[in-house]
Amino acid sequence: MPDIRDKDLDILRAEIAACRICRDTPARGEAYRLPHEPRPVAVISSKARILIAGQAPGLRVHESGLPFNDASGDRLRNWLSVDRDQFYNRDLFTIVPMGFCFPGYDAKGSDLPPRKECAPFWRQRVMDAMPQIELVLAIGGYAQAWHMGKTRSGNVTETVRDWRTTFFRNEGIRMLPMPHPSWRNTAWIRKNPWFEEDLLPVLRQSVEMLIK
């Protein structure tokens, strides 16, 4: 017999898939309507103990419907030391970006920030539906702002550098702030060798323990 909680999550998944807030009732008015058909992308789980909290889908993810289905995902899987089958197993990982839909591009061709409508409407409800989460990987400034709030140390670099403060605290869900795995951040990683030397071993050990 299906678990009652799984049925509730199926309902939540269906509601998210049908969401059209950013197209039909944009927070900042008609001029800021999402310019394309929404395709919410989120992996919600009743069993996974690790939440990957990213930013928003890029165009390739929008087209495939598969989160981190791009070069950024390849790098992230390397950071986690998992393969694609493990990464996309929703019993092991839940993947919920701050904005569920591809937000489009700015005038310079870069991805726009996550839509302002998404997190206020959905985020707390999604988190409440997954009380089993033990570790949040807060990727980038938007995820860190929501999940860490005043415990952030400043910008992304300062917050990630101070990862021990939030990771080793003795209350609440364990948080591990991370930079975005975009290849645009390659220079950042080279400039901050402590990320691969100090943080990644702890990340990989934690992931290994939580997906057993």
For 17-36, what is each residue's pLDDT tens digit? 999 999 999 988 888 899 89
What is the dihedral sign for C-alpha 45, 50, 55, 60? negative
What is the average pLDDT value for the chain, to the nearest integer? 94
Q: How far is CA 211 from CA 50, 60, 72, in A?
A: 8, 27, 21
Q: What is the pLDDT of residues 44-56, one digit of tens each?
A: 999 999 999 999 9
SS3 labels along the chain: CCCHHHHHHHHHHHHHHCCCHHHHCCCCCHHHCCCCCCCCCCECCCCCCEEEECCCCCHHHHHHCCCCCCHHHHHHHHHHCCCHHHHCCCCCEEECCCCCCCCCECCCCCECCCCCCHHHHHHHHHHHCCCCCCEEEEEHHHHHHHHHHHHCCCCHHHHHHCHHHHHCCCCCCEEEEECCCCHHHHHHHHHCCHHHHHHHHHHHHHHHHHCC
Q: Which residues fall within 8 angstroms of residue 212, CB to CB, at 6 or more apart?
A: none
Contact 143, 53 (CB under 8 A): yes
pLDDT at 1: 42
Domain that holds residue 167: 4-210
Res. 141: pLDDT tops 80: yes
What's the number of domains the chain is made of? 1
Q: What is the CATH number of the domain that holds 59?
A: 3.40.470.10
